[in-house]
């Protein structure tokens, strides 16, 4: 992963010779900066969104919207982590809520049953949640991706069943109440906003490292990875665990923020939401699923009166997207932004 | 001289079909061995057995006297056996250079070369060796967009990137024009001079007569002839298969 930086340097030197021949079109990470306008063009889309995210509580002071954005962040982190599996590795999970639920429950059990303080219950709960989810999925990684998808669909349902069956430990249908929550809404807002930015940076770094390259190779052509002397199962397990860490962390934070975990953490509607957001924003882009998460969460708030029909809404959006615009919002924006640039340069 | 590969009494059935039937042969270090035969003769299956994609029903495979029968493909690759596929299988959405980085990430590379340099430069070096221009546009295109002839070269580059000791080439020449074939032959000879051993699968004896040290003819899963190209070309049995069979 370290040598990737070196590699990028080399891409630049190799391509520099070709700047005058319109290298801009060949690579999205190469720019010829000649004016403040050019610099703004490159910098603004990278700096503006995080700035807005950080300044939002000062722009909109209504705590209700801070809570909505916390939820959007929760989905953004979960969807970006889903993208590492579904988008980059070709492991399409229909049950990413499994990690969220495990993270939440382990954290709750630690904090409430064993009195582990919040600053320990979150990291330990997160690790345990990711490990548990990985253990459940690992056996089906040897076979074709379809089996993984099927297991991912069934596993959270089994977990909900087990929670009800082992009510003495899990609290059954009522869940576990009384997790420590020493933070204000505004503090939670900033924790989540920071986590969204950090998750994006880390996952993008991973996705475009040599490790991520192998994941994409597994997605597109697993036999060719095997004959290249690489054990695909090892890579898949690692990707699963990394992805699970972020989803599990989100569940853990949610548990403390709400002072509650319940079977709803594992619900299919959460997993379907994550998939819909990822597809809406654009799969295999990391940032796309985050964009999708913010759009869809805010939309859902506006359409609150729909109530239980939300799942239906997600389903319909998903169907429409897959049929008519499978590239997603991010790729569309990117393309539009690039054509915009070309006109400016030609002047 | 020590044998790099020994195939002993290998048999593989798919349902009622016997794809490979009691085949045995040995390969010397730095040898170029061709396996030829008509469609369905069992050539690809034989390569699949050697590289671990297919487990034989009977028989054993030894690589440098080590029994590799039944090892998973990635382990066999790590030992130093790489291969190309009959239908080129690039990693479609990855740029061509990134296709070559995948084998460079394999533990075999770190183990055999102790090398932690720039994978990208190394990948471009290898692609240049198989005939790409260093500044070719194709290097940066998604591999799925390359023309067929280039895909064969990407296959070869991917197989070479693993720094193999033995390389299995499944119909490398098929679908290539004769100038293209002629441009690859010197490269294969150079690889052999560098110490590699090659097993080439092709359709006809004359495809490989220029380059192979030894030819093995498969027919309906059975080895029907083995020898140097001239002898095999004159063999009665081989003539009957190619003239009578089709
Ligand atoms: N995976 C498989 N399942 C069933 N039959 C197979 C399989 N692979 C190969 N065969 C059969 O084995 C025989 C040999 O095939 P193959 O090794 O591909 O021949 P060749 O490469 O010489 O053209 C053919 O009859 C083919 O149909
Ligand atoms: Mg074949």
Question: What domains are there in chain A, each with its CATH number?
Answer: 44-346 (1.10.3470)
Inform me whether the pLDDT recorded for A12 exceeds 60. Answer: no
Q: What CATH number labels B1-80+167-173+197-246?
A: 3.40.50.300
Tally Cβ neighbours within 10 Å of residue A234: 13
| Ligand 1: nearest atom to the Cα of B20 | 14
- CB A230 to CB B103 under 8 A? yes
Over 60: is that where the pLDDT of A266 sits? yes
Q: Per residue in A19-52, is it b (16+ CB within 10 Å) or e — as a string?
A: eeeebeeeeeeeeeeeeeeeeebeeeeeeebeee
Count of alpha carbons within 13 Å of B91, Cβ hemisphere only?
A: 31
In the prediction, which pLDDT does A301 show? Answer: 87
Q: How far is CA A328 from CA A73, A188, A335, in A?
A: 19, 29, 11
Tokens of A99: 């990690």
Q: Report residues whose beta carbon is within 6 angstroms of any ligand 1 atom.
A: B 14, 17, 19, 37, 39-45
pLDDT at A343 over 50: no
List CB contacts of A169: < 8 A, sequence separation 6 or more: A109, A113
Residue B120 has a pLDDT of 86
Paired with B61 in beta bridges are B7
B239 touches chain A (CB under 8 A): no
What integer pLDDT is reported at residue A32 of this predicted model?
61
User: Measured in angstroms, how far is the CA atom of residue B43 from the centroid of ligand 2?
Assistant: 5
Chain B residues with CB under 8 Å of A14 CB are: 124, 135
Q: Which residues in chain B come in under a pLDDT of 50?
A: 246
Q: Evaluate if residue A53 carries a pLDDT over 50.
A: yes
Inter-chain touch B74–A18, beta carbons under 8 Å:
no
Residue A173 CA to residue A176 CA, distance in Å, equals 9
Q: Given this model, what pLDDT does residue A21 score? A: 34
> Whole-model pTM?
0.90
Lowest mean pLDDT among A28-32, A266-270, A329-333, B16-20: A28-32
Pocket test for ligand 1, best of B11, B13, B19 (most atoms within 8 A of CB): B19
The yes-or-no verdict on residue A3 having pLDDT over 70 is no
Neighbouring residues of A340: CB distance < 8 A, sequence distance ≥ 6: none
Distance CA B208, CA A222 (A): 30
- pLDDT(A24) > 90: no
Q: What is the pLDDT of residue A13?
A: 38
Q: Which of A6, A7, A230 comes nearest B102 by C-beta?
A: A230
The pLDDT tens digits of the residues spanning A218-265 come to 999 999 999 999 999 999 999 999 999 999 999 999 999 999 999 999
Q: Which of A189-193, A208-212, B97-101, B146-150 has the lowest mean pLDDT?
A: B146-150
CA separation for the pair B34, B53 (Å, rounded): 20
- Cβ B74–A232 below 8 Å, yes or no? yes
Q: What is the pLDDT of residue B156?
A: 95
Would you call A226 and B77 a contact, using CB atoms and an 8 Å cutoff?
A: yes
CA distance A286 to A298: 20
A53: its two tokens? 């995210």
- The tens digit of pLDDT for each residue in A56-108 reads 999 999 999 999 999 999 999 999 999 999 999 999 999 999 999 999 999 99
pLDDT of residue B174: 87
Q: What ipTM does this complex have?
A: 0.93
User: Measured between CB atoms, does B148 come within 8 Å of chain A?
Assistant: no
- Asked if A253 and A122 touch (Cβ cutoff 8 Å), the reply is yes
DSSP category for residue A20: G
The DSSP code for A111 is I
Which of B53, B101, B158 lies closest to A210 in CB terms?
A: B101
The DSSP H or E segment spanning B5 is strand B3-14
Say how many Å lie between the CA of residue B201 and the centre of ligand 1. Answer: 14
What are the start-end ranges of the E strands in chain A? 176-177, 260-261
Beta strands B166-170; B197-202: pairing state? parallel
| Mean pLDDT calculated for residue range A8-14 | 42
Q: Is residue A98 within 8 Å of residue A136, measured between CB atoms?
A: yes
List the domain boundaries for chain B.
1-80+167-173+197-246, 86-163
Higher-confidence residue: A340 or A19? A340
């Amino acid at each position: 992963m370290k040598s990737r930086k070196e590699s990028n340097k080399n891409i630049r030197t190799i391509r520099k010779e070709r700047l005058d021949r319109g290298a801009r079109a060949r690579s999205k990470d190469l720019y010829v900066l000649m004016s403040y306008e050019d610099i703004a063009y490159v910098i603004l889309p990278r700096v503006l969104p995080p700035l807005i995210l950080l300044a939002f509580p000062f722009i909109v002071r209504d705590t209700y919207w801070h809570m909505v954005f916390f939820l959007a962040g929760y989905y953004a982190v979960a969807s970006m982590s889903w993208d590492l599996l579904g988008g980059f590795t070709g492991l399409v999970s229909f049950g990413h809520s499994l990690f969220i639920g495990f993270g939440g429950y382990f954290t709750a059990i630690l904090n409430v049953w064993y009195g582990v303080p919040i600053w320990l219950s979150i990291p330990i709960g997160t690790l345990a949640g990711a490990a548990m989810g990985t253990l459940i999925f690992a056996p089906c990684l040897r076979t074709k991706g379809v089996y993984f998808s099927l297991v991912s669909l069934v596993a959270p349902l089994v977990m909900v069943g087990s929670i009800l069956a082992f009510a003495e430990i899990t609290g059954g249908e009522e869940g576990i109440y009384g997790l420590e929550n020493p933070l204000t809404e505004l503090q939670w807002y900033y924790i989540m906003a920071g986590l969204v930015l950090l998750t994006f940076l880390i996952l993008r770094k991973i996705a475009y490292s040599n490790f991520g390259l192998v994941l994409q190779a597994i997605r597109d052509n697993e036999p060719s990875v095997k004959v290249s002397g690489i054990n695909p199962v090892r890579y898949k397990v690692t990707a699963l665990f990394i992805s699970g860490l972020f989803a599990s962390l989100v569940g853990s934070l949610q548990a403390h923020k709400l002072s509650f975990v319940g079977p709803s953490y594992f619900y299919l509607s959460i997993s379907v939401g994550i998939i819909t957001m990822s597809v809406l924003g654009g799969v295999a882009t990391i940032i796309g699923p985050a964009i999708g998460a913010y759009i869809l969460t805010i939309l859902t708030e506006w359409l609150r009166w729909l109530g239980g029909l939300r799942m239906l809404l997600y389903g319909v959006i998903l169907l429409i997207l897959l049929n008519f615009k499978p590239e997603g919002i991010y790729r569309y924006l990117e393309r539009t932004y690039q054509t915009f640039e070309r006109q400016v340069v030609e002047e | 001289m020590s044998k790099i590969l020994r195939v002993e009494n290998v048999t593989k059935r798919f349902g009622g079909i016997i794809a490979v039937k009691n085949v045995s042969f040995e390969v010397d270090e730095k040898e170029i061995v061709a396996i030829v035969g008509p469609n369905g003769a069992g050539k690809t299956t034989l390569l699949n057995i050697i590289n671990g994609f297919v487990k034989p029903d009977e028989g054993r495979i030894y690589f440098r006297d080590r029994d590799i029968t039944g090892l998973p493909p990635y382990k066999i690759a790590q030992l130093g056996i790489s291969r190309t596929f009959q239908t080129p299988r690039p990693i479609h959405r990855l740029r061509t250079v990134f296709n070559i980085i995948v084998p460079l990430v394999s533990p075999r590379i770190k183990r055999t070369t102790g090398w932690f340099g720039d994978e990208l430069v190394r990948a471009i070096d290898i692609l240049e060796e198989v005939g790409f221009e260093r500044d070719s546009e194709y290097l940066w295109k998604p591999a799925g967009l390359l023309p067929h002839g280039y895909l064969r070269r990407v296959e070869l580059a991917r197989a070479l990137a693993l720094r193999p000791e033995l390389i299995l080439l499944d119909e490398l020449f098929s679908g290539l024009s004769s100038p293209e074939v002629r441009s690859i032959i010197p490269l294969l000879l150079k690889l052999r001079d560098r110490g590699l051993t090659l097993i080439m699968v092709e359709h006809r004896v004359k495809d490989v007569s220029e380059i192979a040290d030894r030819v093995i003819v498969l027919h309906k899963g059975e080895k029907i002839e083995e020898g140097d190209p001239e002898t095999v070309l004159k063999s009665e049995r081989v003539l009957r298969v190619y003239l009578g069979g089709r």
